[in-house]
Structure 1
Amino acid sequence: MDIWIINHYAVPPQVSGGTRHYDFGTELACRGHRVVLWLSTFNHHQRRFLSPAERQRAEEKSPPNLELKWIWSYPHRGNDWRRVLNMFTFSLLLLWHGMFRRKPDVILASSPHLLAPIAGWVLSLLGPSRFILEVRDLWPDALVAMGLRNRPAIWLMRKMELFLYYRSQKIIVLSEGIRERLIARGISPDRVILIPNGVYLERYRILHSPETVRHTFGFNGRFVCLYAGAIGPINGLEVVIKAAWLLRESPDFLFVLAGDGPERKRLEKMACEYSLANVKFLGSLSKEVLPSLLNAADVLLACSAPVELFRMVRPNKLFDYLAVGRPIVSNIDGETRKIIEDTGVGRHVRKDDPQAMVEGILYYYRHPEEYERVRENAWKFLRDHGDRRQHALLLEKVLCEPNHSSQEPSPA
């Protein structure tokens, strides 16, 4: 079967970012399908263009049946008009390049922004191809929660959102909360399929020794509290800097932030103003490096801004953290909290409370006997619920399912 996967922000494992769609493309290609992954030459996480050598390396490491189709998009540094232009240019060029190619049997188009899925839907009409939407984030709800007040923009995105919901054969979601939200909006439960985030467990079986990694990054002799992921407003990372300030007098503790984003410079300035010698920023790391770094930490930190909508999120980093079996200290409520507490892999702490975060960290500092239990619990959860190979089998079933039903009528 010929499959197109569209994700503006998809990356191969050699580059910083989420590899969900590259991994799915790899699995589908290895199962005999011909897959084209449409992705951008501009890396959203690092705010830079990938070099021709980087793109060539990714292509050489991909299986024969997986084609990486790189689309240029306008560069941006923050959440201004340039980022909007970045979305428009990717989507328009996707439409242009896609028009002149033989159409696939099915197109899977992923959010969060809605322009690329709209382009994917248009291309599906030219096939005709089956069209499947993946909702990784609820737009415009997430933007409104983060402060968007432009009513015409919100109205337009709401119309685009509903348009896509009612014109897709199936809708793939990443969390139960998003699934329930769509069903509450009138989408048939049979059309909404949960395929959560997960990890390639094989990437975490062969790791560099923690001692080697700790020496490389200068962690020797410290109790390392590591956050790995995007550094933006939605991540609420001020609390990490404030927790580091509370432990500034103890030489044992080191707070490490591995990632990049629009908030990084502000947090670096904040750490400098506090004269914190126990905070280190590493920048973005690829999926090839990240597992060994996580495995070298003592405690892993998961944070978000105090936004109600994030209760229905299962962030990528949660599954990366689980894969190394290190204790997690998290202030993310909802589904993330339920997984951490039910699985017994960490402690949930109050949001925006650096003292609570410190107490969570100190618990594992004082109870090293907990580590083996955490590791066993984490791996059991991933084997049962977070194995990306198993998720790829479910995706294959969804993609191969004939379109027996017509789309539901759009609401008036």
Structure 2
Amino acid sequence: MKRIFIITMATNLPDEKGYNRFKYLSEILSEDNFEVTLITSKFNHYDKLQRDNTKYDEKYNIVLLDSCAYKENISFKRIISIIQFGNNVKKYLKNHKDKVDILYCAVPALYVCNLAGKYSEKFNKEFIIDIQDLWPEAMELLIKNKKISNILFYPIKKFADKSYRRADKIIAVSKEYLERALCVNKKSKKNEAVYIGTFLEEFDLGAQKFCSDIEKNKKEFWITYIGTLGLSYDIKTLIEAYQIIIKQGYTDIKIKILGRGPDEKELKAYSKSLGLCIDFIGYMEYGKMAAFLKKSDVGINAIKRNAAQSIINKVGDYFSAGLLVLNGSNCQEMKNLILKYNTGINYEAENANDLSEKILEAYNLSNDKKAEISKNSRILAEEKFNRSTTYKNIIELINA
């Protein structure tokens, strides 16, 4: 029986809402003749609260290590939290070096990743990284001047390079992220891009269960956004595009925003200042959200021009619902999915005029064309975003 430590600062645990990648991997690996230890923080990254429960009765072990709280995902306090967690991981590994064969470490907590990589090299353990986000690339939106940004973030980039080089195998949530690591890692021969994805069965059950709870006027055309209202997401352009559309008399087009975040108050005020009626619905439990998406006409992937995100969670849910997707992401991999599978329309990020035109293009499609795109979207979900099948690739790589 192989012994694996899965190390991540951000995961849901059995008594918490949501189904994170690492929680699911812990479950399926423990059923595949692995002795699994999930090592994470006492601080819940999603709820921004310290966990009270420290005892779990699962097929795999759960170890909670101390790290301080933080309110913002990009903040000095989070860096301190990562360092504290990393130092505690180092202590834990030192005391358990005879109880592990494989270290599986989530990125972008680079300090933690680098410590785990050093440990793996010193004690001849296999080291696998799973890239969820790119640092410092994800931080570059904070500084608009590219030259200054490159200088300031250069030390973090070199630290990231060092972490990527240590990996024996690399998994990432997109091909773009995988290629970033492989630019500097020349020893890893087994690599895989596996989208975060969704559980199609769970999505479908939720959509069916809550279908009658979602009321919609048949004459309305819903454009729905789900997810965080924060730095990387371009909801302001969506609001401005909607203003253009309303001025043209398309009052049956409605914008629905499901989610919360640091920019929520500002976006609501901006929408109100333009005299627009946009539904900021807030957080919605997953099953009900699935039903809401099934009632929608369009899902929008509203990402700022220079954001580092590639294939993000929300698009898997859009495709699962069979939605036409308006995609503002500059990630070429995402654009190619839209074109290859004919699942929607790409638009220029931060360009309200272009977005308004693309919304009307989607609105004016024939019913037959809309049905074709819906079918294609669901096919894409089944082929590329269904965790029940795609995560088998991760298990095969770990076993290889």
TM-score under structure 2 length normalisation = 0.84
Q: Is 1:30 matched with 2:24? A: no
Deviations 1:82-118 (A, max 9, x none): 2222322332333344444463221111112312212
What is the alpha-carbon distance in structure 2 between the residues aligned to residue 65 and residue 49 of structure 1?
25
What is the alpha-carbon distance in structure 1 between the residues aligned to residue 4 and residue 287 of structure 2?
26
Single out whichever of 33-42 and 107-116 deviates more from structure 2. 33-42
What is the alpha-carbon distance in structure 2 between the residues aligned to residue 347 and residue 376 of structure 1?
15
1:256 equivalent in structure 2: 256
2:165 equivalent in structure 1: 166
What is the alpha-carbon distance in structure 2 between the residues aligned to residue 339 and residue 274 of structure 1?
34
1:404 equivalent in structure 2: none
Following TM superposition, by how much is the alpha carbon of 1:10 offset from its aligned partner in structure 2, in angstroms? 1.9
What is the alpha-carbon distance in structure 1 between the residues aligned to residue 94 and residue 29 of structure 2?
23
Change (3 A) 1:65 1:15: closer
Single out whichever of 358-367 and 235-244 deviates more from structure 2. 358-367
Q: Is the 2:129–2:171 contact (alpha carbons within 8 Å) kept by the matching residues of 1? A: yes
Q: Is the 1:258–1:282 contact (alpha carbons within 8 Å) kept by the matching residues of 2? A: yes
Residue in structure 2 matching 1:330, options 327, 330, 349 = 327
2:228 equivalent in structure 1: 230
Q: Is 1:90 matched with 2:91? A: no
Change (3 A) 1:262 1:93: farther
Following TM superposition, by how much is the alpha carbon of 1:193 offset from its aligned partner in structure 2, in angstroms? 3.0
User: How many positions carry a matched residue from both structures?
Assistant: 388
Following TM superposition, by how much is the alpha carbon of 1:396 offset from its aligned partner in structure 2, in angstroms? 1.7
Residue in structure 1 matching 2:109, options 113, 124, 131 = 113
Change (3 A) 1:208 1:170: closer
Following TM superposition, by how much is the alpha carbon of 1:282 offset from its aligned partner in structure 2, in angstroms? 0.9
2:59 equivalent in structure 1: 65
Following TM superposition, by how much is the alpha carbon of 1:190 offset from its aligned partner in structure 2, in angstroms? 2.2
Q: Is the 1:27–1:392 contact (alpha carbons within 8 Å) kept by the matching residues of 2? A: no
Change (3 A) 1:362 1:50: farther
Q: For residue 331 of structure 1, what is the amino acid of its counterpart?
A: G
What is the alpha-carbon distance in structure 2 between the residues aligned to residue 279 and residue 267 of structure 1?
11
Deviations 1:14-33 (A, max 9, x none): 85667222222222223232
What is the alpha-carbon distance in structure 2 between the residues aligned to residue 165 and residue 157 of structure 1?
12
Deviations 1:340-381 (A, max 9, x none): 121011111122122332333333433343343223212322
Change (3 A) 1:82 1:309: closer
Change (3 A) 1:293 1:98: farther
Single out whichever of 256-265 and 357-366 deviates more from structure 2. 357-366
Following TM superposition, by how much is the alpha carbon of 1:317 offset from its aligned partner in structure 2, in angstroms? 1.5
What is the alpha-carbon distance in structure 1 between the residues aligned to residue 152 and residue 352 of structure 2?
36
Q: For residue 244 of structure 2, what is the amino acid of its counterpart?
A: L
Residue in structure 2 matching 1:314, options 298, 311, 314 = 311
Deviations 1:149-188 (A, max 9, x none): 4778634323322222222211222322233333444635
Q: For residue 76 of structure 1, what is the amino acid of its counterpart?
A: Y
Change (3 A) 1:204 1:247: same
Deviations 1:217-257 (A, max 9, x none): xx555432111122221122211221232344654233222
1:139 equivalent in structure 2: 135
Change (3 A) 1:238 1:103: farther
What is the alpha-carbon distance in structure 2 between the residues aligned to residue 174 and residue 29 of structure 1?
22
Following TM superposition, by how much is the alpha carbon of 1:300 offset from its aligned partner in structure 2, in angstroms? 0.6
Q: Is the 2:234–2:304 contact (alpha carbons within 8 Å) kept by the matching residues of 1? A: yes
What is the alpha-carbon distance in structure 1 between the residues aligned to residue 119 and residue 259 of structure 2?
35
Q: Which has the higher contact order (CA 8 A, sep 6+)?
A: 1
Q: Is the 1:7–1:39 contact (alpha carbons within 8 Å) kept by the matching residues of 2? A: yes
Q: Is the 2:192–2:393 contact (alpha carbons within 8 Å) kept by the matching residues of 1? A: no
What is the alpha-carbon distance in structure 2 between the residues aligned to residue 220 and residue 51 of structure 1?
42
Q: Is the 2:169–2:188 contact (alpha carbons within 8 Å) kept by the matching residues of 1? A: no
What is the alpha-carbon distance in structure 2 between the residues aligned to residue 293 and residue 116 of structure 1?
38
Following TM superposition, by how much is the alpha carbon of 1:36 offset from its aligned partner in structure 2, in angstroms? 2.4
Q: For residue 207 of structure 1, what is the amino acid of its counterpart?
A: G
Map 1:160-199 onto structure 2 (within 5 A). Answer: 160-185=159-184, 187-188=186-187, 190-199=189-198
What is the alpha-carbon distance in structure 2 between the residues aligned to residue 15 and residue 276 of structure 1?
36
Change (3 A) 1:365 1:69: farther
Q: Secondary structure at the match of 1:204?
A: helix
Deviations 1:171-217 (A, max 9, x none): 222322233333444635725432333222222231344642424xx
1:44 equivalent in structure 2: 45
Q: Secondary structure at the match of 2:225?
A: strand
Q: For residue 268 of structure 2, what is the amino acid of its counterpart?
A: E
2:343 equivalent in structure 1: 345
2:126 equivalent in structure 1: 130
Q: Is the 2:110–2:160 contact (alpha carbons within 8 Å) kept by the matching residues of 1? A: yes
Following TM superposition, by how much is the alpha carbon of 1:338 offset from its aligned partner in structure 2, in angstroms? 0.7
Q: Is 1:271 matched with 2:271? A: yes
Single out whichever of 16-25 and 231-240 deviates more from structure 2. 16-25
What is the alpha-carbon distance in structure 2 between the residues aligned to residue 354 and residue 51 of structure 1?
42
Stretches of structure 1 lacking an aligned partner (at least 5 in a row): 402-412
Following TM superposition, by how much is the alpha carbon of 1:137 offset from its aligned partner in structure 2, in angstroms? 2.5
TM-score under structure 1 length normalisation = 0.82
Change (3 A) 1:335 1:13: farther
Stretches of structure 2 lacking an aligned partner (at least 5 in a row): none
